[in-house]
Structure formats: C-alpha cells, structure tokens
C-alpha cells in the first residue's frame, strides 16, 4: 500500500490473522500489505474491531500471524520464535499503552527504568538515565511520585519515557490519548512527536481520536481487517511548526 524498500521499518505481506476454528473462526486481518518507513509517525485508525490492535500486536511480536510475512526492523518475525522474539521485543520495541500500565509499586523513575533493568543494566545507572528522560518530558520534579500521585497525562508521560528509555527503533502506542482530556492528549502527542520521532525510528500510534490526526505523517485507515487507505496529510503539525 505504500512504497516499500530498505527504508521500511515495518513491511507486511499478505498478512492474515484468524482466531478460532470452524464456525467460530474470526478473520481479524485479511490480506494486509503495508510498509511503514523510518522517521515517521504513522497513525492507525478505524472503527472498533477493525483489526488495529491485532495488527500492532503482530508488528510488536506479541501475536503470531496465521499466514503472511512480517518484517520488522529488517528481521523476519514470522520465523522468529521463543526467546529470540522476546529479546527482540525487549531490545527494539517500546510500548505505550492506553491505560499506561505503570507498576503501581514503583515510582515514576523506577517505572521508567524497567526496560533497562530487563536489558540487564545496573539499577543506579538505569535510574539515572530514566531520570534524565523524565526531566526531558517535563517530570523532573515528580521523579519519586508513585503512579497514583500523578495525573493521567503525567502517567502517560512516564509511560512514554519508559517506552523510549532503552532507545528502541520502533515505538508502538495503543490509544495513548484515549484516557486523557483534549489538552492532555495534545500534550502527549506533541511529546511523542518531539522525543520519539527520529530518522532511525518508526512510531505507530493506534487511535480513535480524530483530534490527534494532525500529528501523523501518514494515516492508515482500516476496516474489517483490511487496509482501506493510506493517506499522507497535506499539512501536519510538524510541517506547520
């Protein structure tokens, strides 16, 4: 559906995903071809149940496709299994979740350093790097606050810091503004654009929120498990800045 080539962070070919068998079989993705380039923020939009979440789950290596080819960051995920896939996720992919999914027992800075701990970093070094990133996202004064002491927007900023602290090459965001008011949602999207979009990194954002469409370099519209269209907005916030 878009230009493919060595610049594609994600390349999907003839992708199918089915759940269940027989009469209960549900086709969540059907014949999906998609290329997502580095250095862009791609919005994945569409109605509920259209397959957005299934698609990013497969791209992030959390789900296996039923058929088709999945190339992410130059690696063929279709053939990747077990521990290798887990390590691939840990090293290359950052996640931002709709409900933030911060560990309530950890402070902001402790939450933000978790991916580094997973990678085997020393705790003090990991905390130092996470603290620097949290300061960059405007939470320098809330490093030691627990999630329940932070607003929704602040929690999402912690989640963004956590998703980027280990410098992944692909950032996957699932409805990052869904639980936020309009102003906070905008702040979060601005932050993702500012700190996450890099020439060697791709960002995929699943959203229902039409208010944030302006932030996308590319908008992939889905319906019924298929790609309906891929649009490049004439003016986005980056070019308007």
The single residue among 3, 105, 183, 235 that binds another protein, judged by CB under 8 A, is 105
CB of 237 to another protein, least distance (A): 25
Angle at CA of residue 53, ends 112 and 207, nearest 5°: 75
User: Is 83 one of the binding residues for another protein (CB under 8 A)?
Assistant: yes
Q: Which two tokens stand for residue 58?
A: 């497969």
Whose Cβ is closer to another protein: residue 106's or residue 128's? 106
CA 12 vs CA 35, 43, 155: distances in Å: 6, 16, 32
User: Is 81 one of the binding residues for another protein (CB under 8 A)?
Assistant: no
Numbers of helices and strands, H then E, in the chain: 8, 10
At residue 9, what are phi and psi to the nearest 5 degrees? -75, -35
- Binding letters toward another protein, positions 13-52, x by CB under 8 A: ----------------------------------------
User: Is 211 one of the binding residues for another protein (CB under 8 A)?
Assistant: no
Long-range contacts of 144-149 (CB under 8 A, 24+ apart): 144/107, 144/108, 144/109, 145/107, 145/108, 146/104, 146/105, 146/106, 146/107, 146/108, 147/100, 147/102, 147/103, 147/104, 147/106, 147/108, 147/111, 148/104
User: Is 217 one of the binding residues for another protein (CB under 8 A)?
Assistant: no
User: Is 57 one of the binding residues for another protein (CB under 8 A)?
Assistant: yes
- Separation of alpha carbons 28 and 25, rounded Å: 9
CB of 93 to another protein, least distance (A): 8
Whose Cβ is closer to another protein: residue 126's or residue 236's? 126
DSSP line for 43-96: EEE-STTSSHHHHHHHHTTSS--SEEEEEETTEETTT--HHHHHHHHHHHEEEE
Of 65-73, 81-89, 183-191, 221-229: span binding another protein (CB under 8 A): 81-89
Task: Give the footprint of another protein on residues 117-176 (CB under 8 A).
Answer: 117-119, 123, 174
User: Is 62 one of the binding residues for another protein (CB under 8 A)?
Assistant: yes
User: Is 225 one of the binding residues for another protein (CB under 8 A)?
Assistant: no
Of 35-43, 102-110, 131-139, 183-191: span binding another protein (CB under 8 A): 102-110
Interface residue list for another protein (CB under 8 A): 53, 56-57, 60, 62-63, 83, 86-87, 89-91, 93, 95, 97-99, 101, 103-106, 110, 114-115, 117-119, 123, 174
């Amino acid at each position: 559906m878009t230009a493919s080539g060595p610049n594609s962070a994600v390349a999907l070919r003839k992708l199918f995903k089915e759940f269940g068998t027989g009469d209960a079989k549900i086709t969540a993705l059907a014949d999906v071809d998609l290329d997502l380039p580095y250095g862009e923020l791609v919005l994945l939009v569409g109605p509920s149940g259209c397959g957005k979440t299934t698609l990013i789950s497969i791209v992030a290596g959390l789900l296996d496709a039923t058929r088709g080819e999945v190339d992410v960051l130059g690696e063929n995920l279709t053939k990747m299994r077990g521990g290798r896939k887990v390590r691939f996720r840990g090293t290359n992919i950052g996640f931002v979740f709709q409900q933030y999914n911060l560990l309530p027992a950890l402070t902001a800075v402790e939450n933000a350093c978790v991916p580094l701990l997973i990678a085997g970093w020393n705790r003090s070094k990991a905390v130092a790097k996470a603290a620097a990133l949290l300061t960059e996202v405007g939470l320098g004064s809330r490093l030691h606050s627990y999630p329940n002491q932070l607003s929704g927007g602040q929690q999402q900023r912690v989640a963004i810091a956590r998703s980027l602290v280990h410098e992944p090459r692909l950032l996957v965001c699932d409805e990052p503004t869904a639980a936020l008011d309009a102003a906070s949602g905008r702040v979060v999207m601005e932050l993702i654009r500012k700190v996450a979009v890099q020439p060697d990194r791709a960002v995929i954002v699943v959203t229902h929120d039409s208010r944030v469409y302006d932030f996308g370099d590319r908008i992939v519209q889905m319906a019924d498990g298929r790609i309906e269209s891929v649009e490049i907005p004439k003016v986005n916030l980056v070019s308007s800045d």
